[in-house]
Structure 1
Amino acid sequence: MKSKLIDRVKVTRNYQVTIPSWVRERLSIKESDVLEVELRGDEIIFKKPKAERPRLKLGRKLTLEDIERAIESGFNESDR
C-alpha cells in the first residue's frame, strides 16, 4: 500500500492556499501553470492536466477584459 504524503496549508482571507514547495518540485509546478480541481466527497484534488491547454499570446500583458473575453469565448464553445 502506498503511503500518503501529507502537509497542512492555511486558507487565506481571499480563500487561497500555497502549494508546499516539495509538492511543486515533485510535480514540476511553475508559476502560471494551470491545474485541474476535482471534488471527491470531502477531498479537494489538484491535478496537472495531461495535455497542455492553449495559451493566449497577445505580445502584451492581459487585461481583465482580455481574460473575461477569453472565458466567455470558452463558455460559448462548450455550448456547441
Structure 2
Amino acid sequence: MPITKVTRNYQVTLPAEVRKVLGIREGDFLEVEVRGDEIVMRKLRKNRRTLKLGRNLTPEDIERIIEEGMRECMQ
C-alpha cells in the first residue's frame, strides 16, 4: 500500500501508482469524504468545460465560471 506524507501546508502528493490506476491528471478534481477515521477520495467523472481563447473576461466572470464548474462536478 502506498504511503504519502502531509506537508506543513496540509497538502499530500498522490503516489504515482495511484494516479496511474485512476487516470488522475493535473487539474482533475477529487471529491473528499471523511468516514470515521478514514479519508476517502474519488475522482470526479464530469468533463470540465473549456474557455475559448480571445474572450475578454473580467476577474468576476472567471470566478463565476469556476464556481459553476465546481458545482457541475459535484452533481
Q: Normalising by structure 2, what TM-score?
A: 0.66
Coordinate RMSD, CA, aligned: 2.7
Q: Residue 57 of structure 1 corresponds to which residue in structure 2? A: 51
CA deviation profile, 1:45-80 (whole Å, cap 9, x unmatched): 010124x154352537xx97633x443x68xxxxxx
Structure 2 counterpart of 1:40, one-letter code: R
Distance 1:64 1:20 in 2: 34
Unpaired segments of 5 or more residues in structure 1? 1-5, 75-80
Which of the pair has the greater relative contact order for Cα pairs under 8 Å at 6+ separation? 2
Unpaired segments of 5 or more residues in structure 2? 70-75
Q: Is the 8 A contact 2:31 2:42 kept in 1?
A: yes
Q: 1:53 to 1:18 in 2, by over 3 A?
A: same
Question: Across the two proteins, how many residue pairs are aligned to each other?
Answer: 65
1:47 aligns with 2:39: no
Structure 1 counterpart of 2:12, one-letter code: V
Q: Normalising by structure 1, what TM-score?
A: 0.62
1:22 aligns with 2:17: yes
